[in-house]
């Protein structure tokens, strides 16, 4: 597995639990790096299911949302399951306003998200 600077990844069989290093995901260079690290999990490390835990994230930009949408598509392409969890109220509002909550599975807790992808 490659070195990661933007993500903290826990491998759970063919599933990955991802936490973010940054509290604010807004810097375009960091977002590119974050996207590359996420996509590598599917494309090179062969993870099938992914949970993104937003527990430590206070803010994310629209460019970061785009990476999340792309990640959802990549996971679906390998017939995996993709779930987000632990979104703060403000971030959940962004997902609701953009209607991404209709596309991406979002759970309140990490345990619920892990169960949604078939773990726990």
- Tell whether 2 is covered by a domain: no
Q: What's the domain count of the chain? A: 1
Average pLDDT over residues 22-26: 96
pTM for the model stands at 0.95
Q: Where do the DSSP E strands lie in 1-120?
A: 7-12, 15-20, 24-25, 49-53, 59-60, 82-85, 105-107
Looking at residue 3, its pLDDT comes to 76
Which residues span the domain enclosing 40?
7-116
- Tell whether 39 is covered by a domain: yes
Average pLDDT, the chain: 95
**H or E element at residue 42:** helix 28-43
Does residue 61 surpass a pLDDT of 70? yes
Average pLDDT over residues 57-74: 96
Looking at residue 1, its pLDDT comes to 55
Nearest to 1 by CA among 30, 53, 37: 37
- Tell whether 25 is covered by a domain: yes
Say how far apart CA 20 and CA 98 lie, in whole Å: 22
- Tell whether 1 is covered by a domain: no
């Amino acid at each position: 597995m490659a070195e990661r600077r933007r993500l903290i990844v826990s491998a759970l069989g063919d599933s990955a639990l991802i936490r973010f290093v940054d509290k604010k995901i807004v810097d375009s260079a960091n977002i590119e790096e974050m996207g590359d690290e996420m996509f590598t999990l599917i494309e090179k490390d062969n993870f099938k299911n992914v949970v993104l835990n937003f527990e430590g994230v206070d803010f994310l930009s629209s460019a970061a949302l785009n990476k999340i949408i792309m990640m959802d598509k990549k996971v679906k392409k390998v017939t995996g399951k993709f779930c987000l969890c632990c979104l703060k109220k403000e971030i959940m509002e962004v997902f609701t306003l953009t209607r991404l909550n209709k596309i991406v599975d979002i759970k309140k807790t990490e345990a619920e998200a892990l169960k949604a992808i078939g773990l726990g």
